[in-house]
Structure 1
Amino acid sequence: MTTEKTSFVYVTYILSTPQKVFEAVTRPDVARRYWGHENVSDWSPGSKWEHVRANDERTVELVGKVIEISPPSRLVISWANASQAADPASHSRVTFEIEEYESMVRLTVIHDELEAGSGMANGISKGWPIVLSSLKSFLETGRALDIFAKPKAA
């Protein structure tokens, strides 16, 4: 039986340049400032990447491989929880499309090949909007959002 797949797409417009947006995703020292994690890789096709918590524990939370890279307009990576790295069926795919759009950038993040109803699918549908909002705030104002914030109790 084939597992049903789903995808998540998020589009935002950022007052920045394609190069700065691309670097914000791929440079660990920049990603840690708005994401609370570092994306660590040599960014060559086929190379591994790790999503490392930017704290004292330096926990590797997500892993994958660089599938395609075309700076500063496109990056495609596989994506899995570190605990499921050995199971190819648990891997999903993330595509970053970065387009110049007059005086700004249109960033489209497509997270697909997700198992429908899985914890990963549910988590990324909440995670991507705050991470990408923080990226936008950081590049436009120099101030990131608290991506670990929780909703206030009613």
Structure 2
Amino acid sequence: MELKYEMYIDGQPEQIWETLVSLEGTRQVFYDCVIQSSFVPGEAFAYVGPGNDGDDTVHLYGTVLAFEPNRKFSYIEHPGQSYHANHAELQSRVTFLLEKVGGCTKLTLVNDEWTENHPSFSNAEHNWWMILSNIKTYVETGKTLDFGW
């Protein structure tokens, strides 16, 4: 199973990169969660924010696979423990790729290598569009989208 999205954003790779890896950027576009990581391949990361377990709910966690500033960020992810009892057994790979195209940037997202019958696949299929739209809007306007939550 693979989810693949391509989006063109009126911004430089550095702007999109900052949105993907900075505390403020992730807070703005990932539902008020921040990324906690050293960004060293082989080391851990987590998206933490308000949720089932309070303000410090771990929504996703995993291992950084690649971190090439302004170009590639990839990781293996697991859902947080408050979502599924077998969270450690459930995983997928996420890869963000940035490529300068003229005066804009092509953002490609690939979410693949899903554990068989992963219960989050159908949610991810729809939620990635919301997150990517939020990234595009934030980079281009400095604002985020109001999804009515």
Give the alignment's TM-score, normalised by structure 1.
Answer: 0.85
Alpha-carbon spacing, 1:22–1:64, altered in 2? closer, same or farther (3 Å): same
State the partner residue of 1:47. Answer: 43
| Contact kept? 1:64, 1:85, Cα under 8 Å | no
Q: CA separation in 1, counterparts of 2:26 and 2:38?
A: 15
Q: CA separation in 1, counterparts of 2:62 and 2:145?
A: 26
State the partner residue of 2:144. Answer: 144
State the partner residue of 1:60. Answer: 58
Q: CA separation in 1, counterparts of 2:50 and 2:40?
A: 23
Q: CA separation in 1, counterparts of 2:107 and 2:66?
A: 17
Q: CA separation in 2, counterparts of 1:43 and 1:94?
A: 14
Give the alignment's TM-score, normalised by structure 2.
Answer: 0.87
Q: Does 1:91 align with 2:86?
A: no
Please list every run of 5 or more consecutive structure 2 residues that lacks an aligned counterpart in the other structure.
none
Q: CA separation in 1, counterparts of 2:95 and 2:19?
A: 15
Aligned residue among 8, 14, 17 for 1:19: 14
Q: Aligned pair count?
A: 142
Q: CA separation in 2, counterparts of 1:14 and 1:46?
A: 30
Please list every run of 5 or more consecutive structure 1 residues that lacks an aligned counterpart in the other structure.
1-5
* 1:66-102 CA distance string (max 9 Å, x none): 0011111001101111224532xx1110000100011
